[in-house]
Structure 1
C-alpha cells in the first residue's frame, strides 16, 4: 500500500508543474489580449491626434513629410491586424476548448 501511495504521490508531483504552467498560460493569454486591446486604443487616439494636425497643416498648404504619411499607413495596417486578433483572442485557446471554463465567465462550467 505504501508503494502505491508513493507512486501516486510521484505522479501527482510530476503532473503539478505542467498543469500549473498551462493555467499560467491561460492567465497570461487573457492578460496579453487585454493589454493588446488597451494599446490599440492608445494607438487609435494617437492616430486621431496626428490626423487632426495633418488636416490643419494641409489647410495651411503645408507639405506633409513622407515619414508622417508612411506612419499613418503603417498605423492603419497595425490597428486592422490587431483588431482581427482581439476577437479571436477573447475566446480561450483551442487546446483548452471544453476543458476549462471561459476566462471571461468564471462561473460558467
Structure 2
C-alpha cells in the first residue's frame, strides 16, 4: 500500500502540478500583465532616482561605480523587453479558427513571459548599492600642485 501511495504521489508531482501551473498562466493572464505594468512603473521610478544620483555624482566630478553603470544598462534592457511584451498584448487577443475561439497559445506565452519578467523586474528594482560614486585618481598635475602646497 505504501508503494502505491508513493507512486501516486510521484505521478501527481510530475504530471498534475506542472499542468496546473501551465493552466494557471491562462487563468492569471490579466493579473500577470497588470503585475508587469506595475513592476515596470516601479522600475521606472527607481531608474529616475538612480539617474538623479548619477547626475549629481558627475556634477561633483566623481566617477560612477561600474556596477551602477551595469545596473542602469540592464534596467534599460529590461524596460525595453517589458514594453515589447506589453506591446504584443493586442496580437495575443487575435482569435484562431477565424474568430471562433481565443488564441490560447498566445495568451499562455504572453502570460508566462509577463510573470517571469515581473519577478525579474522586482528583483532588479530592489538592488541596493553601498556606494554610487568613487573619487577619481588624482592627476599628475594635481599631485604636483598638492606637493607644492604641502612644501610651503
TM-score by length of 2: 0.46
Structure 1 unaligned spans of 5+: 1-20, 101-109
Superposition RMSD on alpha carbons, in Å?
Answer: 2.8
Instruction: Specify every segment of 5 or more residues in structure 2 that has no aligned partner in the other structure, as ranges.
Output: 1-21, 103-152
Q: Which one has the bigger strand percentage?
A: 2
1:32–1:90 CA distance, 2 compared to 1 (3 A): farther
Greater radius of gyration (CA): 2
Alignment match, 2:67? 67
Write out aligned runs for 1:1-109 (5 A). Answer: 25-89=25-89, 92=92, 97=96, 98=99, 99=101
Query: C-alpha displacement at 1:89, in angstroms?
Result: 2.8
Scaled by the length of structure 1, what TM-score is found?
Answer: 0.62
Equivalenced residues, count: 81
1:45 Cα deviation after fit: 0.6
